[in-house]
Amino acid sequence: MHIVTEEETARGGLRERKKRATRTALTEAAVRLAAEHGVDKVTVEAISAAAGVSVRTFFNYFESRDDAFLLLDADAAARVRHAVLAAPAGLSPLEAVRDGVAAELVGVEQQHELWTLQADVLHAAPHLLVRSLGAHMADETRLAEAIAERLTADPGGSSGRPSPDTGEPPRTVGLYPRLVAAIASTAVRVSVEHWCSRQEEAAFADVFREVFELLAAGLPTPPGPGTLS
pLDDT at residue 222 is higher than 70: yes
Residue 54 has a pLDDT of 97
Do 1-69 and 71-229 come out as alike in CATH topology?
Answer: no
Q: Calculate mean pLDDT across residues 203-223.
A: 91
Residue 168 has a pLDDT of 53
- Average pLDDT taken over every residue of the chain: 84
pTM, 2 dp = 0.77
Higher pLDDT, 74 or 78: 78
User: Which of 82, 83, 107 is closest to 21 using CA atoms?
Assistant: 107
**Percentage of the chain with pLDDT > 90?**
56
| Fold observed for domain 71-229 | Tetracycline Repressor; domain 2 (1.10.357)
Residue 228 has a pLDDT of 52
pLDDT at residue 11 is higher than 70: no
Q: Calculate mean pLDDT across residues 30-46.
A: 96
DSSP H or E segment with residue 66:
none
Residue 225 has a pLDDT of 60
Residue 229 has a pLDDT of 57
pLDDT band at 17 (very low <50, low <70, confident <90, very high): confident
For the beta carbon of residue 141, count every other beta carbon within 10 angstroms.
16
Residue 196 has a pLDDT of 83
pLDDT in tens, 160-209: 444 445 555 445 789 999 999 999 999 999 998 898 888 888 888 899 99
pLDDT in tens, 108-149: 777 778 888 988 999 999 999 999 999 899 999 999 999 999
Helices (H), 68-125: 74-86, 93-104, 112-124
Higher pLDDT, 94 or 193: 94
Local structure of 182: helix, strand or coil: helix
- The ranges assigned to domains in the chain are 1-69, 71-229
Residue 199 has a pLDDT of 82
CA distance 74 to 31: 18
Residue 200 has a pLDDT of 82
pLDDT at residue 28 is higher than 90: yes
Q: 18-45 burial string, b = 16+ CB within 10 Å, else e?
A: eeeebbebbbbbbbbbbbeeebeebebe
Residue 198 has a pLDDT of 84
∠ CA(134), CA(135), CA(140), 5° rounding? 95
Residue 156 has a pLDDT of 44
pLDDT at residue 155 is higher than 60: no
Q: Calculate mean pLDDT across residues 23-50.
A: 95
| Fold observed for domain 1-69 | Arc Repressor Mutant, subunit A (1.10.10)
